[in-house]
Amino acid sequence: AQSVAQPEDQVNVAEGNPLTVKCTYSVSGNPYLFWYVQYPNRGLQFLLKYITGDNLVKGSYGFEAEFNKSQTSFHLKKPSALVSDSALYFCAVRDVEGGANNLFFGTGTRLTVIP
Amino acid sequence: NAGVTQTPKFRVLKTGQSMTLLCAQDMNHEYMYWYRQDPGMGLRLIHYSVGEGTTAKGEVPDGYNVSRLKKQNFLLGLESAAPSQTSVYFCASSYVWPYEQYFGPGTRLTVT
First-to-last alpha carbon distance for chain B, in angstroms, is: 36
3-state secondary structure of A62: helix
- Do B90 and A43 count as a contact with CB atoms less than 8 A apart? yes
Q: What percent of chain A has pLDDT over 70?
A: 97
Using an 8 Å CB-CB cutoff, list chain B residues near A47. Answer: none
| pLDDT per residue as tens digits for the range B41-61 | 889 999 999 999 999 999 999
Strands (E), chain A: 3-5, 10-14, 19-21, 24-26, 33-38, 44-50, 56-58, 64-68, 73-78, 87-94, 103-105, 109-114
Give the other-Cβ count within 10 Å of A68's Cβ: 12
Nearest chain A residue to B31 by CA distance is A100
Using an 8 Å CB-CB cutoff, list chain A residues near B94. Answer: 100-101
Res A98: pLDDT: 67
CB B24 within 8 A of CB B4: yes
Res A99: pLDDT: 65
Residue A49 above 70 pLDDT? yes
Res A100: pLDDT: 67
Res B39: pLDDT: 87
Nearest chain A residue to B56 by CA distance is A99
Res B91: pLDDT: 97
Using an 8 Å CB-CB cutoff, list chain B residues near A9. Answer: 40
- Do B90 and A100 count as a contact with CB atoms less than 8 A apart? no
Residue A82 above 80 pLDDT? yes
User: Minimal CA–CA distance to A107: which of A8, A2, A40, A1?
Assistant: A8
- Averaged pLDDT score across all residues of chain A: 93
| pLDDT per residue as tens digits for the range B71-107 | 999 999 999 999 999 999 999 999 987 789 999 999 9
Cα A81 to Cα A15, A20, A85, A112, B81, distances in angstroms = 5, 10, 7, 10, 42
| pLDDT per residue as tens digits for the range B12-35 | 999 999 999 999 999 999 999 999
Test mutation, B9, B33, B36, B100, chain A, max A CBs within 10 A: B100
Res A95: pLDDT: 81
User: Minimal CA–CA distance to A53: which of B77, B98, B22?
Assistant: B98
